[in-house]
């Protein structure tokens, strides 16, 4: 029997509903991980560092898809909870059109600006050429990437999380197969890695688009789009925290890369790249869980069912804490073998990566609660609180720790900065959840 947004959720039902988006996000995170593995082992350390250096800029441009996906699904989920399916379809169709238009415009802008951006980030010589090649190929597929980010959320809102999982697995398998073919067999280096990622993003973006354009049995279907500016602005406001994540995260990466170039050179950037890839996979579990729970919260909020909102909140805080603990133990245990997989060809770099990740992994203890809290307020259509939590977590605390701790601790301070920032965000998240409990009745 299928699970409906209107159901009462036990732990078992909640995890069954959230499992497809969790796996979906893990597969999505594999894009950059697989690129990094093949580039590092077949194209070399310089090409690997180039990917890590330019990827934050690419991620900023792709963040609009996450913003309209998360913010728009909160609005659409609430509208479905109010029983107005026709209006929900209008909003959904408008958001798909908006993301498509924004994707084309941002792709052109990014391709033009890429060389000066790469130079500003410190790339020169061979690394500069690698940054431009990788970035321009990836940006050519940016519209598909943004649509994939949008549909990841909306497939769950449409009560089709398994279809979202299938599309993402297809994209992930495409990426892995083409990386192996283009980089390891054809030896196309960084160009092959970029093509593999871009083509896989096309799979992830186009398959859901075709599904929603055709008659289907989900809660949503694409219709002729029309601009409804208040709804579009509300979706942008709701999703401001997700956009903040996708802007501030890359900005923080740029700061950390600068610090690492100063303190440890190219090896520091490469080590940070491995940790960032591994962090993508672990944090994807938290993000997938929030994609699963957000439409449930929005639906019951729209239906004025505060009891079920409270039920999801309590279960989610317990789940995020338990998963965070398990992830910390797993990451600490596997730090050595994982470092060897990526950079085992360089003993000093491998040792640096292993040591750094065994410090960084402690931030998983706190990250899940903060990520869920931001998503929780997005689902309640409170974009201001959601964005504030995200802004403090991903930018203010990270920047502050990334600047201050290396002054006192040197290279160790860069690794501990991740942990310190998450502790601050954890405290702020609990404070907001407590302060807003009466307003939302949870």
Contacts of 184 (CB under 8 A, 6+ apart): 38, 42
What is the number of other CB atoms lying within 10 angstroms of the CB of residue 217?
8
Over 60: is that where the pLDDT of 1 sits? no
Residue 207 and residue 170 in contact, taking contact as beta carbons nearer than 8 Å: yes
pLDDT given at position 32: 63
Tally of domains in the chain = 1
**Rounded distance between C-alpha atoms, residue 163 and residue 52, angstroms:** 31
Query: Which structure tokens are listed for 155?
Result: 């497939």
Question: What pLDDT, in 10s, does the model give residues 223-237?
Answer: 999 999 999 998 888
Place of tokens 């910390």: 328
Evaluate whether 183 touches 43 at the Cβ level (below 8 Å).
yes
Q: CB of 373 within 8 A of CB of 432?
A: yes
Q: Report the pLDDT value the prediction gives residue 268, as an integer from 0 to 100.
A: 85
How many Å apart are CA 65 and CA 72, to the nearest integer? 10
Q: Say which range, 99-108, 149-158, 239-248, 352-361, has the weakest mean pLDDT.
A: 239-248
User: pLDDT by residue (tens digit) across 21-70?
Assistant: 898 888 777 766 777 788 888 988 788 878 877 887 887 777 777 788 87
Q: Are the beta carbons of 410 and 422 closer than 8 angstroms? A: no
Cβ atoms within 10 Å, residue 215: 5
pLDDT above 70 (res 281) = yes
Calpha distance 136→111 (Å, rounded): 5
pLDDT in tens, 346-383: 888 899 999 999 999 999 999 999 999 999 998 998 98
Question: In this predicted structure, what is the pLDDT of residue 56?
Answer: 75
Count CB atoms within 10 A of the CB of residue 371.
27
What would the DSSP string read from start to end of 202-218?
A: HHHHHHHHHHHHS--SS
In the predicted model, is pLDDT for residue 249 greater than 80? no
Whether 5 is covered by a domain: the verdict is no
In a domain, 70, yes or no: yes
Please give the pLDDT value at position 90.
Answer: 96
Q: Six-digit token pair at 199? A: 């083509």
| Percentage of the chain lying above the pLDDT 90 cut | 54
Tell me whether residue 350 is in a domain: yes
- 56 compared with 421, residue with greater pLDDT: 421
Averaged pLDDT score across all residues of the chain: 89
- H helices of 222-265, where? 229-238, 240-263
Decide: 278 and 57 in contact? Cβ < 8 Å.
Answer: no
- Domain assignment of residue 4, yes or no: no
Q: Would you say residue 291 has pLDDT above 60?
A: yes
Structure tokens at 73: 């699904």
- Tell which residue, 275, 273, 251, has the closest CA to residue 402: 251
Q: What value does the mean pLDDT take over residues 92-100?
A: 94
Q: Can you say whether residue 218 is alpha, beta or left, with left for phi > 0 and alpha for psi between -120 and 50 degrees? A: beta
The mean-pLDDT minimum among 39-48, 90-99, 177-186 falls in: 39-48
Q: Is the pLDDT at 276 greater than 90, yes or no?
A: no
pLDDT of 53: 78
pTM exceeds 0.85, yes or no: no
Which pLDDT score, from 0 to 100, does residue 345 have?
82
* Per-position DSSP letters for 298-339, written without gaps between them: HHHHHTT-HHHHHHHHHHHHHHHHHHHHHHHHHHHHHHHHHH
Q: What is the spatial distance between Cα 114 and Cα 129, in angstroms, rounded to a whole number? A: 11
Rounded average pLDDT over 88-103: 94
Q: What are the pLDDT digits (tens) for 292-346?
A: 999 999 999 998 899 999 999 999 999 999 999 999 999 999 999 988 988 888 8
Q: What spatial distance separates the first Cα and last Cα of the chain, rounded to whole Å?
A: 28
> For residue 3, is it within any domain?
no
Residue 424 lies in a domain: yes
Q: Tokens 């084309």 appear where? A: 104
CA-to-CA dists, residue 286 to 16, 119, 128, 207, 283, angstroms:
15, 34, 34, 25, 5
Is residue 406 a part of any domain in this protein? yes
**Full residue range of the structural domain in which residue 84 is found:** 11-440
Distances (CA, A) of 90 to 152, 174, 184, 226, 247: 18, 32, 46, 8, 28
Main-chain phi, psi angles of 141, to 5 degrees: -105, 10
| Secondary-structure breakdown of the chain: helix, strand, coil percentages, each rounded to the nearest 5 | 85, 0, 15
User: Tokens 């350390």 sit at which residue?
Assistant: 45
Those residues whose C-beta lies under 8 Å from the C-beta of residue 260, and which sit 6 or more positions away, are: 268, 269, 271, 272, 411, 414
Return the minimum-mean-pLDDT range out of 92-101, 137-146, 336-345: 336-345
**2 within a domain of the structure (yes/no):** no
Say how far apart CA 71 and CA 23 lie, in whole Å: 21
pLDDT of residue 257: 78
Q: Strands, DSSP E only, in 43-170?
A: none
- pLDDT higher than 80, residue 394: yes
């Amino acid at each position: 029997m299928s699970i409906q947004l209107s159901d009462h959720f036990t732990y078992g039902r909640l995890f069954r509903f959230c499992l497809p988006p969790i796996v979906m996000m893990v597969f999505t995170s594999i894009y950059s991980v697989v690129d990094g593995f093949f580039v590092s082992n077949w194209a070399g350390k310089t090409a690997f560092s180039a990917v890590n250096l330019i990827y934050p800029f690419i991620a900023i441009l792709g963040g609009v898809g996450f913003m309209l996906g998360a913010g728009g699904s909160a609005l659409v989920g609430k509208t479905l909870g109010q029983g107005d399916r026709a209006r929900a379809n209008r909003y959904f169709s408008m958001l798909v059109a908006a993301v498509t238009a924004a994707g084309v415009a941002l792709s052109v802008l990014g391709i033009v600006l890429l060389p000066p951006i790469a130079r500003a980030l410190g790339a020169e010589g061979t690394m500069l050429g690698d940054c431009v090649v990788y970035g321009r190929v990836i940006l050519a597929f940016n519209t598909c990437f943004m649509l994939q980010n949008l549909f990841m959320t909306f497939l769950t809102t449409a009560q089709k999380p398994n279809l979202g999982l299938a599309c993402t697995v297809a994209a992930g398998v495409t990426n892995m197969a083409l990386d192996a073919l283009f980089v390891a067999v054809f030896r196309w280096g960084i160009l092959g890695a970029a093509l593999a990622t871009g083509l896989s993003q096309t799979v992830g973006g186009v398959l859901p688009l075709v599904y929603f354009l055709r008659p289907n049995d989900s809660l949503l279907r694409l219709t002729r789009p029309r601009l409804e500016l208040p709804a579009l602005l509300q979706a942008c406001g709701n999703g401001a925290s997700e956009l903040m994540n996708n802007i501030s995260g890359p900005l923080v990466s740029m700061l950390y890369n600068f610090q690492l170039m100063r303190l440890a050179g190219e090896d520091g950037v490469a080590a940070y790249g491995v940790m960032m890839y591994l962090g993508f996979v672990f944090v994807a579990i938290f993000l997938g869980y929030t994609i699963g729970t957000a439409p449930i919260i929005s639906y019951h909020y729209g239906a004025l069912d505060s009891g079920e909102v409270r039920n999801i909140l309590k279960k989610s805080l317990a789940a995020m804490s338990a998963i965070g603990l398990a992830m910390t133990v797993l990451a600490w245990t596997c730090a050595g073998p994982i470092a060897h997989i990526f950079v085992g060809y360089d003993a000093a770099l491998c040792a640096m990566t292993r040591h750094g990740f065994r410090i960084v992994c402690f931030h998983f203890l706190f990250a899940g609660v903060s990520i869920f809290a931001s998503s929780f307020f997005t689902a309640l259509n409170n974009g201001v609180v959601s964005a504030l939590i995200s802004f403090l977590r991903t930018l203010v605390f990270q920047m502050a720790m990334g600047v201050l701790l290396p002054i006192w601790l040197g290279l160790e301070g860069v690794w501990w900065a991740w942990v310190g920032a998450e502790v601050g965000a954890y405290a702020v998240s609990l404070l907001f959840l407590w302060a807003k409990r009466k307003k939302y009745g949870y």
